[in-house]
Amino acid sequence: MKLRKLHIVLLFILALAIGLAGGYTGVKLAQKTTPPTEQSMKLGGETTANEAITQDMEKVDQAFRLIKENYLEDIDDKQLTEGAIQGMLSTLEDPYSSYMDAETMKKFNEQIESSFEGIGAEVNKVDDVLSIVAPVKDSPAEKAGLRPNDQVLKVDGKSLEGLSQNESVAKIRGEKGTEVELTIRRAGVAEPFKVTIVRDTIPQETVYSKTKNVDGKKTGILEVTNFSERTAQEFNEQLTKMEDDGIEGLVIDVRGNPGGLLNVIEDILKQFVPEDMPYLQVEDQKGNKTPYHSDLKEKKKYPISVIIDEGSASASEILAVAMKEMGYDVVGQPSFGKGTIQQAVPLGDESTIKLTFFKWLSPKGKWIHEKGVQPTINQKQPEYYYTSPVEIKEPLKQDQTGDKIKNIQVMLQGLDYDPGRTDGYFSIETKQAVISFQQDNDLPTSGEIDAQTAKLIETQVIKSIRDGKDDKQLDKALEEVYK
């Protein structure tokens, strides 16, 4: 039987599924890569398994011809082919394996190269709901107050239900200067709320450094927002400069860092993990484990702490767990929990399959997938860090109760306006706190929480968080680094 285009593509993919158990060399968590070796693409000899695959392909080919020849409306080969590929990948129930057409692949490569336009948020499909892994630092998403684990229910009022991750992302992305309205569901908040974001160019910087005096000791702080092409170079340059300036301790901050390229985190870990222990292990489909070592003779002479949160994922977790197993403190909240490695394999027409090939394991062989890295020191942020925007249709007044009032009370407290209580009852003390806020910000002093007052409270809370006000996790990491 003559193979059609769909048949050939499917044979290639199934060959991929059984043949790509080869060695690991520079495989990346998410990046365009060269195709697998020619040998790995071949079906090989006439084995029983190959005969079964041929029989399966005959069934697929029959379905393809049945649709093409008999379906009520015209449908082109490409639509059927891409639908078949997407269907196979969906049966894996793996949110990290996906098919990307030529246009999606172009945008994906732009993201990895840290230069693209949109809202700036890493997302993942969890239980068929699009969730924020982490917003990019200084991006429109961060400025709008989006947070890890926020669920995106609608885009511009249209539900994302039934759409793939790539289709959902395509609706959120857009040109600089255009607006997009997201309907967000946040844990602990009774009702979904809307956030309007103006798309912009996403910042290319991935490493931010500063020093702070802690008990008379110069302490370096390196914040890494994602692991893209230039991150290792930026990290090493800024670390070298701080070391030349005489730092006596270091804090590495990977909060809200959704991950990135495996070779980049490898280059960074090689600066910290000595050759006598692996900085990473990789496990293939057969359970074979390969440890990877640096050439470093000894670890840094100064103490180090790492900060993580629920938005620290993938490559961030590789760093955190390696440092933890070296004996360094990890401060914050349990991380996201992504312990798999993907490789993007081109299909020859500028489309790509991103497929999970391997597990990554900690230096001691632990798999953190869907568990996350557990900090050695648990530390949450102040309560107002976890509040949400409040939609006001009618002004909130004294003696009313509800979750919206509770949310505003917590925000006011975080902004140093004492509401008297934070249980959702609009007391006289809460009214006075609202009046004080309105007076300080040149608003009408009604003592009621109208839409304008609520929006300005929310804006100032977001600014305080982005400025690092009351950052208990960083404070704790600095406090513990020399203990």
Q: Which active-site residues does the annotation give?
A: 314, 338, 342
Q: Which residues of 269-297 are buried (b: 16+ CB within 10 A; e: fewer)?
A: bbbbbbeeebbbbbbbeeeeeeebebebe
- Whether 136 contacts 123, CB under 8 Å: no
- The 3-class SS string of 399-446 reads CCECHHHHHHHHHHHHCCCCCCCCCCECCHHHHHHHHHHHHHCCCCCC
Helix (H) or strand (E) holding 10: helix 5-19
Q: Which two tokens stand for residue 135?
A: 């917003």
Q: How many angstroms separate the CA atoms of 75 and 223, rounded?
A: 50
CA-based nearest residue to 262, from 281, 275, 277: 281
* Helix/strand/coil for 80: helix
CA-based nearest residue to 100, from 167, 173, 26: 167
Q: How many angstroms separate the CA atoms of 135 and 133, rounded?
A: 7
